[in-house]
Every structure is written in C-alpha cells, then in structure tokens.
Amino acid sequence: MIAIIDYDAGNIKSVEKAMRYLGQDVEITRDRERILAADKVILPGVGAFGDAMEKIRQYGLEEVIRQVVDRGTPFLGICLGLQLLFEESEESPGAKGLGILKGKIRRIPGGEGLKIPHMGWNTLELSGDGRLFRGVPEEPFVYFVHSYYLEAQEEEIVKAVTWYGAKIHASVEKENVFACQFHPEKSSSTGLLMLKNFVEL
C-alpha cells in the first residue's frame, strides 16, 4: 500500500489518481499506524511553507514522517512536499521545516520578463544517476507551479536541475528520500514513468 499524507494541502487527489492509474493500492491518510504500515509514502502539496508545517505539527505528522524516513521506507515529496523536507524557506521566515535534508528554499528572483509564479513546462537537466529518472529521455519536459525554489546544501543529492531566473534544484535523492519540485503526476507519460520508477523501488 502507498500512503499519501493528508495534511489539508492541495493537489492530493491528482497524485492519488496517477497512482491508481499505475494500478497501485493507495490511501490518503493522516493515521499514524496506516502511514507506518505503508510500503511507500508520498508527501504532496501546494500552498505556503509555514502554514503547511503548522498543519503537519498540528496533526502530529512530523514524528511519523521522521520514523518513515528512519525505517528506510521509500519516501517521495512533491512540490511543497520537497520544500518541507528542508530547513527553512524565505516564504515563511522563522518557520522551521522538517530538516530531513539540508538546504534553503529561496524566492525565485523576478525581472527579465519572468512571471512569478513559475508556471508551466520546463526542461530538466539530469545528472544521470537518479533512480526516479531510469528510462526517462534526456532533457525531459515537466510541469512546474512554484514561486520558491530549492538551493540544496549537498550538491551530490541533486539529480535534476532547471533554470528560471536562477539555477533550480528540481529533484533530489538521498538514500530512501526522493523529492521533485515539479509535478510528475501532471507531467504526462514522462512524469508517470518517474512515478512508476518510485513504485518499483
């Protein structure tokens, strides 16, 4: 079973739909025991960093997420779910993230006719060894919706980057923790292949 963590954030249904399309037994839940019993866990999300962390703590999910990661269960953060894995965000000064991975979430600089949020399709540059990207063509097109981006402290965990006013660390992988700033569930057959790779870990 794949558990999708429910903390009142947007975009949960589209992730569930993609997983069901891939033939997976999936459950949207904030129940501690169900999450810990899952074979894989997904933290999706669209919204504000500080509000999301408040909800995660309100529902007692921070410790559950740490347990999932410590146990070695494959864990995937999507969009805001990627950002929450890190320490802090310029979107919500003073709000502490999960801090499972090291790095900061920065605001995308405007100017040069760039619209914020960064919304739409953009090309990824792959590092070549990301397990989510097995079989994915070079320079895949994926779908983004975000105003803030990851600047990871550990370059070696970055498996894909894109450019939009800055170099954006678009996907990271460290041991059993995976995360994407883009939306694989909205990125056509390419994104579904990435989700299939996660399912098959």
pLDDT in tens, 84-137: 999 999 999 999 999 999 999 999 997 778 899 999 999 999 998 999 999 999
pLDDT of 10 > 80? The answer is no
Q: Is 180 a catalytic residue?
A: no
Residues 6+ apart with CB under 8 A from 60: 32
Q: Is 118 a catalytic residue?
A: no
Strand pairing class (75-78; 88-89): unpaired
Q: Is 79 a catalytic residue?
A: yes
Q: In what order do the strands lie in the sheet with 2-5?
A: 26-29, 2-5, 40-43, 75-78, 177-180, 167-174, 158-163, 125-126
Strand pairing class (88-89; 125-126): unpaired
Token readout for 34 is 């169900």
DSSP helix/strand/coil, 152:
strand
C-alpha distances out from residue 178 to 108, 127, 132, Å: 22, 14, 8
DSSP helix/strand/coil, 29:
strand
Query: Exactly one of 151, 155, 183, 200 is catalytic; which is it?
Result: 183
pLDDT digits (tens, 9 = 90+) for 16-25: 999 999 999 9
Q: Which CATH superfamily is domain 2-199 in?
A: Class I glutamine amidotransferase (GATase) domain (3.40.50.880)
Q: What is the pLDDT at residue 128?
A: 81
Query: Exactly one of 16, 88, 173, 185 is catalytic; which is it?
Result: 185
What one-character DSSP code corresponds to residue 157? G
pLDDT digits (tens, 9 = 90+) for 44-94: 999 999 999 999 999 999 999 999 999 999 999 999 999 999 999 999 999
Query: Exactly one of 16, 79, 88, 173 is catalytic; which is it?
Result: 79
pLDDT digits (tens, 9 = 90+) for 124-182: 999 989 999 999 999 999 999 999 999 999 999 999 999 999 999 999 999 999 999 99
